[in-house]
Amino acid sequence: MAKSKFEYVKHFEQHQTLLRNTWIVVRIDGHGFHRFSAEHDFAKPNDIRALHLANEAARGVMLELNDIVFAYGESDEFSFVLKRDSTLFKRREAKIISTVASLFTAHYVVNWGKFMDGTAMKYPPSFDARAVCYPTNENLRDYISWRQADCHINNLYNTTFWALVLDTTATPPTTTTRAQEILKDTTSATKNELLFTKFNINYNMLPEIFRKGSILYRTREKVAVKEAQDGSSVEREKSLVHVGHFDVIGDEWWVNGSGASI
């Protein structure tokens, strides 16, 4: 294409390239979801529909970007892990994070009606994104463990908090401020105990998706794609994306499970 005299402005661009031979983790997080979840009547502490919607959006991202080996999601955030030798967008940071964030947002909006049965979207959600490079497998595991520990800590707090606030037998009703005061500086053991004795909730019996978050991972499987001329089906290796809610802090998935291939 012919160059115009304006073309020189292109040289002002600065490209941040993500360090090669490292795991690239892109974490997206919902903007102002405290308000977004309230405005859209998310169930508290966990709206299962919204979690399934986020998982579907993340699946959409993974189906589009094959270099993502797995993803971990909780609350309004998702972390996507790109393989070490990824050359996606020549590892240009801005291209990678903006594409992940916009793909996720687009899939979240497109699938809203399918998951949020009848709740109208009042205003468009948005997600920010950052990328962090982790040089060792241990760093990567610790990163994922950090997010799952965060999921657990927040979920235990939120479950206890909302049990107090939504308790219809309390006179006077427990305000959010009062619930915060009650839970201030309490240990996990105290919260578990409070849930069990006061509300008959065994924390460990709550759905795993709430307690452990969601892991999206791939397997390669032979699938029948179409019928050949002689009527037999043709098999092709296809990357399938699965959703699980299991422990990623321990060794199980990384050493014995499908995470071992990462």
Residues 15, 16, 32, 90: which binds ligand ATP (CB under 6 A)?
Answer: 32
Residues 18, 23, 70, 76: which binds Mg ion (CB under 5 A)?
Answer: 76
Residues 30, 125, 213, 259: which binds ligand ATP (CB under 6 A)?
Answer: 30
Binding-site partner at residue 37 among Mg ion, ligand ATP, none, CB < 5 to 8 Å by type:
ligand ATP
Residues 22, 55, 75, 105: which binds ligand ATP (CB under 6 A)?
Answer: 75
34 known member of a binding site: yes
Residues 22, 27, 40, 46: which binds ligand ATP (CB under 6 A)?
Answer: 46
- The residues, any chain, with a CB within 8 Å of residue 46's CB and separated by 6 or more, are 155, 158, 209, 210
Nearest Cα to Cα of residue 46 among 55, 57, 37:
37
Q: Quick check: 116 binds ligand ATP (CB under 6 A)?
A: no
- The residues, any chain, with a CB within 8 Å of residue 66's CB and separated by 6 or more, are 239
Give the Cβ contact number of residue 260 at 10 Å.
11
Burial annotation 11-40 (CB, 10 A radius, 16+ → b, else e) = eeeeeeebeeebbbbbbbebeebeebbeeb
H-type alpha helices, 20-122: 33-39, 48-64, 93-110, 112-115
Q: Which of 31, 220 has the CB closer to ligand ATP?
A: 31
Residues 22, 26, 27, 30: which binds Mg ion (CB under 5 A)?
Answer: 30
199 known member of a binding site: no
Q: Is the peptide bond before 207 cis (omega within 30 degrees of 0)?
A: no
List the binding residues for GTP: 29-34, 75-76
Binding-site residue ranges for Mg(2+): 29-30, 76
Which residues would be at the binding site for Mg ion (CB under 5 A)? 29-30, 33, 75-77
| Residue stretches of the annotated binding site | 29-34, 75-76
* Binding-site ranges for ligand ATP (CB under 6 A): 29-34, 37, 42, 44, 46-47, 50-51, 75-76
